[in-house]
Structure 1
Amino acid sequence: MDATSFILPLAEITIAGAIINASVHFVPVGGAPAAMATSTGVGTGTTQLAAGAGFTGLLAAATMASQAGVSLANPVHMLLIMLSGAVGAMIMLGLTMLIGQIIYVYGIGIVPAADKCEKDPITGDIQKPYITPGTTGHGIPTVCFVSGSIGAALGGLGGALAYIALQQLGFAAAIAGVLAVGFFFMNAVLASYNIGGTIEGFHDPKFKKMPNGVIASFVSSLIAGAVLIGMAMGL
């Protein structure tokens, strides 16, 4: 491979990192308080939830890429691989939010309510009267579910794009998958540091911090891409 053949994979890796970072800011994460239904979102960490969806997307993308007749040189096939990643991630996170919601509503007995908005931007439902005193919301309101689905789709797209770039660099499917997982985690952690705790979704004031995280991932992914190219060249 000559130097010019590395330009496209490097660009794809860099863009993928920025997309992954952006995706994490959409995911509704309530941390430990949400596990006790005292905060809006899913009761786990930002990195864990985003990475879980991203890994599922990577598996879906890798499965599509391994199908007979699928070629990375075909733009339509590349799009199918990326869409497979998006759908896989959306299914994983969608089911996670759905099961969590069932437990919150029927197990704990709370009304899903967002603390960071007066009205749900999707349904227009008023939120504040339904928030239990002493909590910062609970459950997964409609706006959080929609935001999480968008984040999962973006994460799946970004992860799939990174996987495609790694295969274009000549890495075997298994190695490309392992490297893509590490790459996803790197950008998810950067996003988590940028958020600094919990986030409800695109309606949360912390969402405005996303550009800083995207820039950080853009730079770090560019460096990571250069390292991966060096590995592909045997340096």
Structure 2
Amino acid sequence: MGVAYSVGEVDHLYPFFMKKHCRAQHFRKKYKNRFFADKNVINGLFSQLNNNLKAANNWEFITVKQAKQHISLCNLEDFEKEEQEFQEVENELPVLSDQSLLLEDHHLKTLVTHLPPRTQGYRWNLVYSTAIHGSSLKTLYRNMAGLDSPVLLVIKDMHKKVFGAFSSDPFRISKYCYGTGETFLFTFSPDFQQYKWSGENSYFVSGDLGSLQIGGGGGGFALWLDADLYHGASFSSSTFHNATLSTHEDFIVQDAEVWTVQN
């Protein structure tokens, strides 16, 4: 009757035989065409290998698949621990510099998982709020002067719909469009929906003293705000292939906030 070995013992025996097999292959290649090879050395090597293989009849061998299953079982506890730690980090709410009037916990949990990796782990700093700074696009630009980090624009309209945009660059007055493919739109109307860059054009963000525009190339801007940050509009755009972010294409802004998400 054969002797049963544990899987752990077989894991150690398998490399041993593989090493012997590789050495045998090496000698075969080395002395294939050399008539002065020492036959005693070669025969001795093969004799040792054969003896090991005969002894192996009393051992239990497992397949590679079984070995992988063993490794998986051994690492299952560590994997579950790492997964739990990841979930805890993922479920953590971002730290806000000020209390938000627009973002509730479920908004924050959802948004933080969709932001680019380079923004993860940073405190969210409130740069502009209509409730604090008044409704003025000019003030919004002024508060972001000298800022060099991505920003999150959040809007609540008169129908209580929450939506907005993540911009890879802070908002500023510019003759040409700016931003990168990290820019995206989002809406909680009522379920969360993210609209990423389609790749069709680069009309990410542009603005002047009269309005702020995000996305374009379709029937209108994906998101448009006037100088008073009171009237807004949202149309389908080629930049993001988005649906209307609000309940209606034209909407009235109740409140708006802009957060920086990186130091």
Fold shared by both chains (TM-score > 0.5):
no
Larger strand proportion of the pair: 2
TM-score normalized by the length of structure 1: 0.24
Q: Greater relative contact order (Cα 8 A, min sep 6): structure 1 or 2?
A: 1
Larger helix proportion of the pair: 1
TM-score normalized by the length of structure 2: 0.22
